[in-house]
Amino acid sequence: MAFDYDFCVIITSYNREEKLKNLLNQISEYKDLKIFVSVFDDSSFPVYDISEFNVFKITYVKNNGKKKFWKIISDTYKLCKNINSKYYIYLQDDVVLKENFFQEAVRLYEKIEDPKKISLNTLILENQRGKPKWTNFDPEEYDEYYKTQWTELFFISERKFFEVLNYEVEPVNNKRWDSNPYLSTGVGSQISERLLKLGYNQYQVKNSLMKHGDHESVLFGEYRGEEKLIAL
**Tens digit of each residue's pLDDT (9 = 90 or more) over 135-180:** 999 999 999 999 999 999 999 999 999 999 999 999 999 999 999 9
- Under 8 Å between Cβ of 139 and 225: no
Mean pLDDT (the chain) is 93
- Per the model's pLDDT, the better-predicted residue between 232 and 34 turns out to be 34
Average pLDDT over residues 199-222: 77
All structural domains of the chain, each given as residue ranges with its CATH number in brackets, are 5-226 (3.90.550.10)
Question: Which carries the bigger pLDDT value, residue 212 or residue 113?
Answer: 113
Pairing of strands 5-13, 85-92: parallel
Alpha-helix runs per DSSP H in 53-186: 69-81, 101-111, 160-164
Phi, psi of 43 (to 5 degrees): 65, 50
Has residue 225 got a pLDDT over 90? no
- What size, in residues, is the chain? 232
β-bridge mates for residue 97, sequence order? 210
CB 45 within 8 A of CB 15: yes
| 3-class state of residue 111 by DSSP | helix
Answer yes or no: are the C-beta atoms of 121 and 89 closer than 8 Å: no
pLDDT of residue 213: 66
Evaluate if residue 58 carries a pLDDT over 50: yes
- Residue 215 scores a pLDDT above 50: no
pTM of the model: 0.92
pLDDT of amino acid 228: 47
